[in-house]
Amino acid sequence: MGVVADVVAATCLLLGSLLCLTAGLGLVRFPDVLTRMHAGTKPQVLGILLIMVGGAIRLQGWSATWMLLLVAVFQTLTAPISAHMVSRVAYRRRHVRRDRMVVDELGVAPRSPGEARGDEPADAAPSRGSPRAREG
């Protein structure tokens, strides 16, 4: 019984840590804010949940378990909201790699020549039809 619980707890802790690591990797490897927010909300929330489960099995006493439960609940409630707010601001500031996008149905109008650039990432390839696009 003790061994089984230990193995389950260790598995949860390791898997959770791995998922949190991939969240960090995603922040480095993904190309723009929107995609990075995906990396920040999904594997990381699941990772935290797994670590909480592992901790709950491993730690003695219920009081720690309740605390971990609260952490898990607030993680699932708040992570999407912060991701939403950051992405929303990024999108409105045009901090978006449009060349990596299939379609944009919200359609912020393309920038006219004299308009300020917003926060368009400097490494973004010029999108088709944009004033910055050059032939050849």
Partner 1 sequence: MSGTVADAGAVGRLRHQLPLLLWLVAVWNLLWGTWSWANLISGVVVALVVTLVLPLPAVVGGVRVRPVAVLVFVGTFLVDLVRAGALVAWQTVRRRGISSSAILRVQLRTDSDLLLTIVTEAVTLVPGSMVIEIDRETRVIGLHVLSVDTDEDLDRQRRSVLLTEERVVRAFGTAEEIAALQRAPEPAGRPS
Which C-beta is closer to partner 1: that of 88 or that of 132? 88
Given candidates 9, 11, 91, 121, which one binds partner 1 under the rule CB under 8 A? Answer: 91
Distance of CA 16 to the CA centre of its chain: 15
Which C-beta is closer to partner 1: that of 102 or that of 135? 102
124 near partner 1, rule: CB under 8 A: no
Are 129 and 99 in contact, with CB atoms under 8 Å apart?
no
In whole angstroms, give the CA distance from residue 130 to residue 115: 12
In whole angstroms, give the CA distance from residue 106 to residue 94: 12
SS (H, E, C) 52-73: HHHHHHHCCCHHHHHHHHHHHH
CB neighbour list of residue 87: distance below 8 Å, 6 or more residues apart: 33, 34, 37
101 near partner 1, rule: CB under 8 A: yes
Given candidates 88, 125, 131, 132, which one binds partner 1 under the rule CB under 8 A? Answer: 88
76 near partner 1, rule: CB under 8 A: yes
Q: Which residues bind partner 1 (CB under 8 A)?
A: 18-19, 22-23, 25-26, 29-31, 34-35, 37-39, 41-43, 45-47, 49, 61-64, 66-67, 69-70, 76-77, 79-81, 83-84, 87-88, 91, 100-106
